Structure formats: structure tokens, C-alpha cells
Structure 1
Amino acid sequence: MTVGTLPTGPLNAITDVPGVRVGQTTISTGELQTGVTAIVPDGFAGGLPAAIAVGNGYGKLVGSTQVDELGVIETPILLTGTLSVFRVADALLTWLLDRDPLATSLNPVVGETNDGHLSDIRRRPITPDDVHAALDSASTDLPAEGCVGAGTGTAALGFKAGIGTSSRAVSSGTIGVLVQTNFSGTLTVLGTPIPAAGDADPGVREMSDRRDASRGDDPGPDDGNSCMIVVATDLPLDARQVGRVARRAIFAMGRVGSDYAPGSGDYAIAFTTNRTPGFSDRDLRAPFQATTESVEEALLNSLTMATTTTGFQGHTAHAVSHDLVRSRLASAGTLS
């Protein structure tokens, strides 16, 4: 299965962007299915050009207003479950202060999605040690995908989901993406719908309690949940141009079937590790394409790399069947 036409980076991951590292802590113990994912760019302490795009603002993105105001990010980006976001932000702040004894003002950036269907979210189980382990273990290796880190307890488009990553190479640099998926809609792979309703196709498994696990504890019929998208690049973009890239990341959610429900928090955080702007707006076509292709593939990877998970109160989120996806794509003439 190939998404788009641009070549991937060597790892097909956000860590293909030079100087970008990822670390994760996973908590998977029955009633607790949650964790932390850390995206750590080199040079963050000096401030990197950055921007945030909001599709639906129903979420808790700590530190977003200062990024909007100043156009820079000055800390790693951490992802976790909704009610742990504040504990994670505090632990990140401690980690940063320990490394800079002169710091008096820092803007930790922490995003979230609601993993309360599979994890006892009210326990807020993330500890400083969990956060520091994710930060300290961050590396340029291929990040694990699926039910790991902040994606341990998430679901999307009616199936088990989690963390996904991808990248695309353009002539002057790389676009890399990491996603935490937890939103509603109908899974669509390369234009082919693959609904989760059991009676739509006998080969598709429905959620065991007929609730859309991507919609949290007590979902209403029109609720969604959330998606966090982190876009990294080494292209010489300024903060305004990075913002244009971030908006394309949100657009890409529609390519995999997001319904952008009113109860959803859909955010893209984009940054560049290159502090020397010099990119023409008329040359943004390739970075835009690279972003939409990378996000689309990362979203799909977050589902296809996930495994069926049973968690809080016996709730189960079923992984999408690879055989079913291949069969549907073959029937549609997309896959031979």
C-alpha cells in the first residue's frame, strides 16, 4: 500500500528529520492503558519557529497561546491522556528546570486525547518518572507505533488506534509526522471506506459493547474525540509558513475518514529545526504535499500497527483486520 507519490525518508518516520528524537513510556496493566510520547527536537531551548493549527478546539493543549503569540516552541512536545496532561506538563517543567538552573520562564507544550474508554482516566496515573523516562529515552531510531506511549489506550474510526509516524523527502529537506489518533468517522484507506459496523460487512468486527471507542467514556451520537498531529521539518520556513504547513496536516484527517465531530479536539503542532528562514511561499507546494501524504500514512499506520486491546471495565477496542483491508482495496482496484 503506497500513500501518495513522494519518496519517504529512510525510516519513514518523524525521526528522519535531522535532530528530532522520540521517546515513549507505555502503561498497560489491565485497567490502565495509557502513556507518554515525547518529541524532542535538538535546539529547542533556543526557540524553534513553530505554529499550531486548530481544527476543533475541544481539547487541552497546554502552552498553545504562547506558541501562537511568539511563533516559537522552546520545549519538547509531549502527548498523553486527557486528565494526565497537567501532571505531564508539571513533570516536563521539572525536567527542564533541572537542566537550566537560570530559567525563570518556560512554556511546556503538552497535548492529549481522551483514552478513558480503555483506561481508568480519573486515576491520572502518569508520574514524573514516566515523563522523565520518555524524555531521557528519546532517540533518532524508528519510533514504535500502535498501542504504545500516548496511544496505548486510544481508538479511531471505530478500531483500535494509537501512535503512527511517517515522512516524505522533498528536494530541499524532509517533512516528518507523528500522530496520536483518537477520533470518530469511517475508516477510509486510499479512498475506500472500511466501516466498523458489524452488519456492514461480516468481516469487520464491531466494538464489543457497540460504542465507538474513539469517543470516550459516555459519547453522545455526534461526539468525536481528538487527534494530535506533530509535524517536524528542517526546511528554512518562518513561523507563518510553518502555520500554513500545520493547517494542511488538519486537512489530511479527512483523507482517512474523519468526521470532524463537534466533540473532537483536532490539533497540529508544526516546527522547523532550521532557524534561517529563506523559503519562498511559491515553493510551498512540495512541503504541502509532503505534509498531507505523511499525515495520511501516519494516521493509517496508527491503526494498522495497533492490536486488539481490552482495558477499563472490560471495554475492548478491536484492531482492524489487515486481510480485510487488503480485500477491500483489491475489490476497489486499488491493490492488486
Structure 2
Amino acid sequence: MAPVQTPRRVRDLGVVVGTQPTGPLNAITDVPGVRVGQTTISTGDLHTGVTAIVPDGYADGLPAAVAVGNGYGKLVGSTQVDELGVIETPVLLTGTLSVFRVADALLTWLLDRDPRATSLNPVVGETNDGHLSDVRRRPITPEHVHAALDSASADRPAEGCVGAGTGTSALGFKAGIGTASRTAGRGTVGVLVQANFSGTLTVLGTPVPAAPLDADGNSCMIVVATDLPLDARQLGRVARRAVFAMGRVGSDFSPGSGDYAVAFGTHRPPAFADRELRPVFQATTESVEEALLNSLTMATTTVGYQGRTAQAVPHDLVRPR
């Protein structure tokens, strides 16, 4: 059995991704007005939860876009985001078979806050945590969803085996939730990921082979937030770069993978020239790469459903040689 290790972010292990500076928390909550709340279920055969990304001003519609790397998944609300270029609710993440219960509970939470609303488009994504959690039980209740929303704060979100990442694995190891940020010119790009995909872990270009997990689900949800005044078309370009960044940590983009990115802006755009997007793209790919690595190094070995185990990545394999 591997020795117990303290979860640490990759920067604390000496791994510095890219060249752009991070925000103060190196988290999605470095973007002003973005908060995150999480509910975790971790007991016996259940390892799952809810992660809520709550931006200020969502009720008035914020510019947004969705990028689909591989559409083998359930991203509730994505077609309306594509059509209108806005989100009008928080973005929630959970396990595959709970996604519809989470969407319904989110609607209840929103309707309670707006008695005049007659149409809302909840945005809820998922990855399959069925390797470590009994997904058929669909344990998420409205209380779990409302607790995640009500607890949302601007603090750095917890990472690893929490919220929607409680039962996920990636690249042969236990994974979960990860976050990171970069400053980009006059604004900030922040990212939160729910990592649950296959491939060979790669750290700063160096492969770190692992024994393959016999796990169901090979997917990733990426949420990108920025306070730069980008329109929906430009956010679509950002979202696509977010999915591309999965390849930097070794994703094999398997046929059974649901790889999605939701990108939104907290400021409605007056104008932002496409020629100014280069540092934004770099900030996005660097943030996604680091967030994915954090999702692994902050996770802990977990024994779950039917005694199945996902081992934490040994930090000595990640540290620079």
C-alpha cells in the first residue's frame, strides 16, 4: 500500500505550468463576482456530490458559449446557450445519473428567488463517477443542490475528492475537482474542472505511466470564467482552447468520452478585438492544464463501490526531476 500523503497543489510540488502570472488564489474565484459552493457525499458505496459555479448577474444573462470536444455526455441547457450566447443560471456539475435531479433542484432554487419567472435554462454538466459510487441510487437530493448554491463563496474552492469530483478518476489515478487562474492583460481567466478521463498522465511534457483503471466514464467538464469583455463568439473560441488543453496532460480523448467546456464572461462586451485574444487563449490553456493537475495531486486514495479503489498519484512521480 502506498504511504499516505498530504494533498498538495502542483505549484507546491515545484511544478510551474506556463509563463503567465496566476491570480491571488490561483482559482476560478479570482474572477470578480464568481463564487463556488460544493456538497460532498462520501460514505460506503456513495462517492459523489455537487459543485456550483455562481456568477453575479446571471439572472440578467451573461455572455457564454459551449465547446464540445466529444459529445458522449449530458450537458443540460447547452443548445440554448449555443442559440442565444448567454447563460441565465449558475453552472452546476454532478454525477451522470444525477444530472436531471440536479437540474430540477436548480430550477426550484431559481423559481423561489424569482416569482415572475416562466422560462429558465439550467446549465448542468456531469461525468460518470460509477467506478467508485453506486450511480443507480442517484443519491443527490434538492437539499444537496441548494446547500451547494447557498454556500457559494469567493474563497478558493476545495479541490480533489470534493463535490462533483468526489468519485472521479483521471489518467489512471484518483482525481476530482481542480482550479487555477491567470491574469491576461487587463483581466483574469479562471478555470474549474471535473476530471474523469483516460490517457497517460503527462506533467510538463513528461509522461507518468500508471496501471490503467477499469473505470466507467472517460469525461471532463471544464468551466472557464473571465471578466474580460468577450462576446459569445469569442468565448466559443476560448472554450475550444479549454478542451484542447486536456491533451497537454495526456488525455486520449477516447470514444466514450464527454469532453465539454462552458465559458462565460462576467462583463457584457462593448468591444474586444480578436487580435487581443492571444494572451486570453494562453491564459485558458495554462489554467486548464494546471487545474487538471491540481485535481489529481489534491485527491486522496479512495475505496468505493464494491470495494473498488482509485489510488492517488504519488507526488514523487509529479515533482520535477
TM range (shorter): over 0.9
Q: Which residue of 2 aligns with 1:187?
A: 201
Q: Which residue of 2 aligns with 1:301?
A: 294
* Equivalent residue for 1:74, pick from 84, 88, 92: 88
Which amino acid letter does the alignment assign opposite residue 291 of structure 1? T
Q: Which residue of 2 aligns with 1:94?
A: 108
Q: Which residue of 2 aligns with 1:13?
A: 27
* Equivalent residue for 2:154, pick from 140, 150, 153: 140
Q: Which residue of 1 aligns with 2:4?
A: none
* Equivalent residue for 1:319, pick from 295, 312, 315: 312
Which amino acid letter does the alignment assign opposite residue 265 of structure 2? T
Alignment of 1:253 onto 2:254: no
Task: State the 1:30 CA deviation.
Answer: 1.2
Alignment of 1:46 onto 2:47: no
Q: Which residue of 1 aligns with 2:180?
A: 166
* Equivalent residue for 1:233, pick from 226, 236, 256: 226
Task: State the 1:225 CA deviation.
Answer: 1.3
- SS across alignment from 2:194: strand
Q: Which residue of 2 aligns with 1:212?
A: 213
After superposition, residues 247-286 of structure 1 pair within 5 angstroms as 247-286=240-279
Task: State the 1:270 CA deviation.
Answer: 0.1
Which amino acid letter does the alignment assign opposite residue 287 of structure 2? S
Counterparts of 1:18 and 1:94, CA distance in 2: 26
**1:230-289, Cα deviation, whole Å (9 max, x unpaired):** 000000101000000000000000000000000000000000001133110001000000
**1:178-198, Cα deviation, whole Å (9 max, x unpaired):** 00000000000000100113x
Task: Say how many residue pairs are matched.
Answer: 307
Task: State the 1:325 CA deviation.
Answer: 1.9
**1:64-103, Cα deviation, whole Å (9 max, x unpaired):** 0000000000000000000000000000000000000000
Counterparts of 1:136 and 1:15, CA distance in 2: 16
**1:31-55, Cα deviation, whole Å (9 max, x unpaired):** 0000000000000000000000000
Counterparts of 2:41 and 2:149, CA distance in 1: 15
Q: Which residue of 1 aligns with 2:145?
A: 131
- SS across alignment from 1:98: helix
Counterparts of 1:137 and 1:295, CA distance in 2: 24
Counterparts of 1:83 and 1:16, CA distance in 2: 31
Alignment of 1:149 onto 2:152: no
Task: State the 1:116 CA deviation.
Answer: 0.3
- SS across alignment from 1:229: strand
Which amino acid letter does the alignment assign opposite residue 287 of structure 1? V
**1:116-159, Cα deviation, whole Å (9 max, x unpaired):** 00000000000000000000000000100000000000000000
Q: Which residue of 2 aligns with 1:334?
A: none
* Equivalent residue for 2:132, pick from 102, 118, 128: 118
Task: State the 1:171 CA deviation.
Answer: 1.6
Which amino acid letter does the alignment assign opposite residue 196 of structure 2? N
- SS across alignment from 1:49: strand
Give every structure 1 segment of 4 or more consecutive aligned residues whose post-TM-superposition deviation is greater than 4 Å: none
Q: Percent identity?
A: 84
Structure 1 runs not aligned, ≥5 long: 198-210, 217-223, 331-336
Calculate the TM-score normalised by the size of structure 2: 0.95
Q: Which residue of 1 aligns with 2:6?
A: none
Task: State the 1:324 CA deviation.
Answer: 2.2
Counterparts of 1:140 and 1:22, CA distance in 2: 7
- SS across alignment from 1:55: strand
Counterparts of 1:277 and 1:180, CA distance in 2: 32
Alignment of 1:3 onto 2:17: yes
Which amino acid letter does the alignment assign opposite residue 22 of structure 1? V
